[in-house]
Homo-oligomer: A and B are copies of this chain.
Amino acid sequence: MPLDVTAKGVYVIAPTPFHPDGRVDESSLDRMTDFFLGAGCAGMTILGVMGEAPKLDGAESLELSRRIIRRAASAGIIVGVTAPGFAAMRSLARGVMDAGAAGVMIAPPSHLRHDEAIIGYFHQAIEAIGPDIPWVLQDYPQLFQVQMTPGIIRRIVSDLPSCVMLKHEDWPGLEKISALRGFQADGSMRPISILCGNGGIFLDFEMARGADGAMTGYAFPDMLVELVKLSQAGERDRAHDLFDAHLPLIRYELQPGVGLAVRKYVLMRRGVIASDAQRRPASAMSATARQEVEYLLSRLARHDARAKLPPV
């Protein structure tokens, strides 16, 4: 079922489980997929930076994508196809769509520094992959160094009908959501789905500003699902109560580099994956960092039973 502009809920950014020796851990992969769907996620996003995609070769990437797509047939799988060249982007995009992906995600390269360059890049990308593949525009200026104003996003959305979703992770980004929803309201832009990233650290307010959900890898995606539902039901205080309980850990996970280690550690502690190993090159958590995470989990457990874990 191809991705479209009505997509909502949580599309979890999936890490890639490895055995300690560096092989892909397929049984953890299956268990993780089942866990995410069981948690109520509407879909999964794979082969992003958080998924250690650059450490997989082409064959592994395709095999991994196929395995997840088969297993998660009922959910929408979005595949990151950002690449240094359009030929590689096209070949991965066509490959995963043939395998049953719901859509692909594209981020702009860091050298784009004016409107024409940014908009032109996406024209070229869609010419390369073809106009029939639903795609997600990733807006992440802190990482990619490309700044897309609401006006630029509107032009991309207007020019390219196969763009169905914005992955919003500008920071600050609350006014940008309001501006885009304002464009829809005044008829100057067609509706699109907006899912928010940045580890979820503004998700409480982003929902109220008009977001449709989250696309991020926080290790409690079940909480994100609940938060989105509470927000959509207008339960503002309860949504913030839930969010605030998780915020200290959300914040702790939002550390570039170390964040992935924390995320894998918590998923391992929750029994979702067997090992928190990363394929090399990897940076390990220090013993102190592990204690800090355990402390955060124990504090969280006072508010949310999902964080009550057996002792290490």
Contact = CB atoms under 8 A, between A and B. Distances in A.
A203 to B, nearest CB: 11
Nearest to A147: B113
Nearest to A256: B172
A175 B252 CA distance: 13
A55 B87 contact: yes
A84 B54 contact: yes
A286 B58 CA distance: 39
Interface stretch (A98-106, A116-124, A129-137, A218-226): A116-124
Contacts of A286: 175, 178
A72 interface: no
Contact of A280 (B110, B127, B174, B209): B127
Contacts of A127: 280
B299 A86 contact: no
Interface string A229-269: 00000000000100110011001100111110000000000
A146 B288 contact: no
Interface string A190-217: 0000000000011011001100000000
Contacts of A259: 172
B289 A175 contact: yes
A171 interface: yes
A115 interface: yes
Interface of A: 53-58, 60, 83-88, 90-91, 110, 112-118, 124, 127, 142, 145-149, 151-152, 171-172, 174-175, 178, 201-202, 204-205, 208-209, 240, 243-244, 247-248, 251-252, 255-259, 280-281, 286, 288-289, 292, 299
15 contacts: A54-B87, A57-B87, A83-B84, A110-B110, A112-B113, A113-B147, A114-B115, A114-B118, A124-B281, A172-B255, A172-B258, A202-B251, A208-B292, A244-B244, A247-B251
